[in-house]
Amino acid sequence: MNNDLGSRAIIVGLHVGLPQMFKQDKQRTLETNMRAGAVGGDAVTVNKRLFGKSQTAELVRAVGQLKKYFNTNTLPWDDNANRLLSADRLMNFMKEVREMKAHVEDTWKNFVDSFETNIQKRSEEMGDIFDWSDYPSREQIENKFYVSIETQPVPKYDNDIRVGDPELQKMIEQENEQRINDKVQKGLRSAFNRIYELVEHMNNRLREYDEAGKKKPPMFKSMLENIREQVNVLPHLNVTGDRDLDNMIQELRDKVLINDLDDLKNYPSIRKDAINETGKIVDALADLI
Determine the pLDDT at residue 288: 78
Determine the pLDDT at residue 47: 93
CB 119 within 8 A of CB 135: yes
What is the rounded distance in angstroms from the CA atom of residue 234 to the CA atom of residue 72? 9
Enumerate residues 6+ apart whose C-beta is below 8 A from 137: none
Query: What is this structure's pTM?
Result: 0.80
pLDDT in tens, 161-214: 565 567 766 776 677 777 777 787 888 888 888 899 999 999 999 999 888 877
- Rounded to 5 degrees, what are φ and ψ at 18? -130, 155
H helix count then E strand count, the chain: 11, 6
What is the number of alpha carbons within 13 Å of residue 187 lying toward its C-beta?
29
Sequence-distant contacts of 175-178: CB under 8 A, at least 24 apart = 177/2
CB 160 within 8 A of CB 175: no
| CA angle 229–230–235, rounded 5-degree value | 115
Determine the pLDDT at residue 163: 55
CA 270 from chain centre, in angstroms, equals: 33
Positions in the chain short of pLDDT 70? 1-6, 156-165, 168-169, 172-173
Annotated domain spans of the chain? 5-153, 166-288
Q: How do strand 75-76 and strand 47-49 relate by DSSP bridges?
A: unpaired
CB 30 within 8 A of CB 141: no
With the C-alpha atoms ordered 216, 221, 224, 227, is the resulting torsion angle positive or negative? negative
Determine the pLDDT at residue 6: 61
What is the rounded distance in angstroms from the CA atom of residue 59 to the CA atom of residue 110? 9
Determine the pLDDT at residue 174: 73
